[in-house]
Amino acid sequence: MRRKSVLPELSDRLLERLAHLLDAAFAVPGTGIRIGLDALLGLIPGLGDLVPGLLSLTLVFEGARRGVPSSVLLRMIANILIDTIVGVVPLLGDLFDISWRSNIRNIELLKKASRDGVKNSSAGAIRQIVHLAILLIVGAVLILISGLSLLLFQIL
């Protein structure tokens, strides 16, 4: 018997708005370039890279809730890690945030997996525990990266 989640399923529209807010919500006047909160918050040493990374995990959690295949979830996590790790590097990371757009990439992966109708064949407890463990490890890595970023900023 499948257990119902305490939290409601997030709509595609809400997830798309979150991705847009994090990656492309604001136009840079006179350039045609769009940036999101991810790039703006990335200017703040330490927490500036952690907060968007944690918000990005919302898409991964929703994918896991919907039964998206593990391979897609891992690609989504890789997009977040690339964004967060490169985002730690002063200036280069901020420029990378503007072009990488991990959240828009992830919403497209989520929509494609939903459109294709491919789901995990087993929604058993072991698979869900593995997913949770992966997400917790990613969260811990994001926190570690944030701390290292803050330390690096203080040294420079």
pTM score: 0.74
Residue type, 40: L
Burial 8-25 (b: 16+ CB within 10 A, else e): eeeeeeebbebbbbbbbb
Cβ–Cβ < 8 Å for 47, 36? no
CA distances from 103 to 61, 79, 143 (A): 13, 8, 19
> What does the pLDDT look like over 64-99, one tens digit per residue?
888 888 888 888 988 988 888 788 777 888 888 888
Domain ranges for the chain: 12-155
> What does the pLDDT look like over 45-59, one tens digit per residue?
767 777 888 888 889
Q: Compute the distance between CA of residue 60 and CA of residue 100 in angstroms, rounded to an integer.
A: 17
